[in-house]
Amino acid sequence: MIKNNRQGFFMKLYIIEDMTNGELGKQIHEKTLLLNKVLDNTTAAFELMRSQARNIMEYMSGEYPDEFEFEDKNHNEFEIRFGSDILVFMMHTNVFEFSRYHEVMRLPYIQQDKNRSFCGMINIYNFLTDSFDYNRDYDLGYLIGRVFINMDNHYFVEGKREVGFLYSNFNTSLISEESTADIVRSAMEYANNFDLLTPPFDDVKEISVGEIRTTAASKGKITAKRLGFEFQQDKE
């Protein structure tokens, strides 16, 4: 009798565990489909951005030869050069969700479907052209914008001035050829207006004989557009 009760108990426990495992498997499957959808949308958006950046560079180089250049780096990265600036566009291979404290989480668009808060991300960095040309590995670049794309192919841009878009447009802003071209042009406009300022005198008043003799002065001193300065736009 005791043995039969034990068998019944373990059989019941097995059935409960089987149902639980089935539900867990379903949840994992649905989450995987969501993340794959977001990543597919982000990859497609990045390819559109790559194509539009190439088109913009080709158009401008036709009028101003040798001043505009597009370069493919790899599947997840490309760069454009113009004037004294380089913009590096990098697509992250992971999908992210926003913190519950982020402004975007308060939007009715997100509250109606939390899955819309999962986004792929494309980062836009600004560097000085000379930093690459003279192999100044210690020079600094700046993240000037982050493009977020969700499962609905909606997007918004978190960034500085010309680059940043409004969170409130997330529910209506769709990735397209026009929108990706606008993002590239806005990033170029910001970089062009983000000028190199001289560093504070006391930060650069000393240099060694070795740096002069080995021409390391151009490599050993860190250069960045706002090095040593408080940048007002970084507060906004």
Domain residue limits, the chain: 2-195
Average pLDDT of the chain is: 82
- pTM comes to 0.79
pLDDT of the residue at 23: 84
pLDDT of the residue at 10: 54
pLDDT tens digits for the chain (236 residues)? 445 555 555 555 555 566 677 788 889 999 999 999 999 999 999 999 999 999 999 999 999 988 999 999 999 999 999 999 999 999 999 999 999 898 899 999 999 999 999 999 999 999 988 888 888 777 778 898 999 999 999 999 988 665 655 567 899 999 999 999 999 999 999 999 877 655 566 665 666 666 656 554 454 555 555 543 333 344 44
Asked if residues 92 and 123 have their Cβ atoms less than 8 Å apart, the reply is: yes
Amino acid at 78: F
pLDDT in tens, 46-105: 999 999 999 999 999 999 988 999 999 999 999 999 999 999 999 999 999 999 898 899
Closest CA to 30 of 96, 99, 105, 115: 115
CA–CA separation, 97 vs 105, rounded Å? Answer: 10
CA–CA separation, 121 vs 150, rounded Å? Answer: 9
pLDDT of the residue at 28: 92
pLDDT of the residue at 111: 94
Residue 235 Cα distances to 62, 148, 159, 160, 231, angstroms: 38, 21, 11, 9, 7
pLDDT of the residue at 208: 64
**Which residue is it, tokens 């600004």?**
126
pLDDT of the residue at 231: 33
Closest CA to 187 of 226, 154, 167, 157: 157
pLDDT of the residue at 75: 95
What is the three-class DSSP state of 122? strand
